[in-house]
Amino acid sequence: MKKLLVLIILIPSLTFAQDKATELAHKFIITDGHVDLPYRLKVKNFQLTKEFVGIPVSSKDGDFDFERAKKGGLDAPFMSIYIPARFSSEEGKLLADSLIDMVNYISDENKEYFEVAKSPEDVRRIFKAGKVALPMGMENGAPIKELSDVAYFKKRGISYVTLTHSKANQICDSSYDPERPWQGLSPYGEEVVLEMAKQGIMIDISHVSDSTFYDTIEISPVPVIASHSSLRFFTPDFERNMNDEMLVKLKENGGVVMINFGSTFIDGEIQKIKNENGELLGKILEEKGLTRRDEAAKPIIQEFIKSHPTVFSDVEKVVDHIDRAVKFAGIDHVGLGSDFDGVGDSLPTGLKDVSDYPNIIKLLLERGYSESDIEKICSGNLFRVWQSALDYAAAQ
């Protein structure tokens, strides 16, 4: 009898928690610092024609479309204008323009669903209209060959620039690149950071080396963001993430870390298992005199994948990152930066696409976060930094 009573009590409680989380997901504006839709569509040969079927209103492809965004309460995903590190400045600028054109086209051809946003005020207005706002951030500053390019990209609708990506560029060093030609920001990079502040573009320190982060914090006259980074405490050997000392510095700067959802970003054990499986598969193929590209290797690889399935982290771990970021940086300095459409099949259980944001909110409620705290994480903190960047530029 007692066991039955427990079930009767718990089931409504779980339902209430999920319902409350869904309610808040639609009550509050949810921003996401990084969604890689444009480059995913570019790879699929997106064409600026009405006949192209890839317009993301309702789609089974990828992690983002309008219908799933509305279901999950996502209101302002920053469209990543991603520039691969292999591109020259000239090539990168052409690619950036093409991706910006794509986002504008998606908005123009689907006015009842999307609208490009260039400020928090834009996002609030678009939210009230029941549409999804599409602000833009350029991932990799390589296209900024001249300082005048900063104003150019601002005019084109870019609201933040990630200083680099997987390789050092003319601006700074990358966390992924063993080569550190600048030992932080380059002299030109210092000028770029100051010009970004002058133009009202948020400075994004995701992907940069530690020394670049500290150089940027030292000279930036405005708060910075980490648009899609997680915490190194949970991934000790991953410089791409932020350590506790950096979180303290970010708080002093007034900035925001926006937590990446990728399993390898949030759980070091996941990467360890992947590395071990990769080494094991390599040994198996080597013993047979094969490489991964050989035709004869395909059935062996397929069988290996069946017996060694992909492992994932879960939404609980994402909220663990939020907890630790709050501990070291404070509730005013944390946001969400999923990297949807950018981390492939490594998304954690409970966060497989943009319909799943209520799962984060449910856990935050269960861990004692107030509704005010949750609103800050969803958008309030980013809006503060974004508005600070715009206000600083307006005062110049």
Which phi-psi region, left, alpha or beta, contains residue 230 (left: φ > 0; alpha: ψ -120 to 50)?
beta
Predicted confidence at residue 272, as pLDDT, reads 85
Contact of 310 with 200, CB cutoff 8 Å? no
- CATH among 3.30.1300.10, 1.10.1660.10, 3.20.20.140, 3.40.190.10 for 19-267+313-394: 3.20.20.140
- Report d(CA 273, CA 260) in Å as an integer: 20
CA distance 337 to 354: 11
Characterise 130 by phi-psi region: left (phi > 0), alpha (psi -120 to 50), beta (else): left
Span between the terminal Cα atoms of the chain, in Å: 71
The contacts of residue 342 (CB under 8 Å, 6+ apart) are 34, 35, 36, 39, 80, 82, 228, 262
Q: In this structure, what DSSP letter does residue 188 have? A: H
Can you give the pLDDT at residue 292?
Answer: 87
**Whole-number Cα distances in Å, 343 to 261, 262, 346:** 8, 6, 6
103 half-sphere exposure, CB direction, 13 A CA radius: 31
C-alpha pair distances (Å), 121 with each of 29, 88, 128: 12, 35, 11
Which residues have C-beta within 8 Å of that of residue 37, sequence separation ≥ 6?
56, 62, 64, 77, 79, 80, 340, 341
Report pTM. 0.92
- Give the pLDDT confidence score for residue 286 in this predicted structure: 86
CA distance 316 to 351: 10
Sign of CA dihedral 229, 231, 235, 239: positive
The token pair that represents 145 in the structure block: 């060959």
Residue 78's SS3 state is strand
Distances (CA, A) of 237 to 69, 247, 316, 379: 33, 17, 21, 30
In eight-state DSSP terms, residue 377 is: I
Per-residue pLDDT of the chain (396 residues; tens, 9 = 90+): 334 444 444 445 557 789 999 999 999 999 999 999 999 999 876 666 655 656 789 888 899 999 999 999 999 999 999 999 999 999 999 999 999 999 999 999 999 999 999 999 999 999 999 999 999 999 999 999 999 999 999 999 999 999 999 999 999 999 999 999 999 999 999 999 999 999 999 999 999 999 999 999 999 999 999 999 999 999 999 999 999 999 999 999 999 999 999 999 999 998 888 888 888 888 898 888 988 888 988 888 888 888 887 889 999 999 999 999 999 999 999 999 999 999 988 999 999 999 999 999 999 999 999 999 999 999 999 999 999 999 999 999
Q: How far apart are CA 207 and CA 205, in angstroms?
A: 6
pLDDT for 50 equals 56
For every residue of 280-342, DSSP letters joined together read HHHHHHHHTT--TTSGGGHHHHHHHHHHS-----BHHHHHHHHHHHHHHH-GGGEEE---BTT
Domain segments of the chain as ranges:
19-267+313-394
List pLDDT tens digits, range 147-188: 999 999 999 999 999 999 999 999 999 999 999 999 999 999
User: b vs e for 104-142, b when ≥16 Cβ sit within 10 Å of the residue's Cβ?
Assistant: bbbbeebeebbbbbbbbebbbebbeeebbbbbbbbbbbb
Per the CB < 8 A criterion, the answer to whether 351 and 46 are in contact is: no
- Pick left, alpha or beta for residue 188 (phi over 0 → left; psi -120 to 50 → alpha; otherwise beta): alpha
Give me the pLDDT at residue 7, please: 43
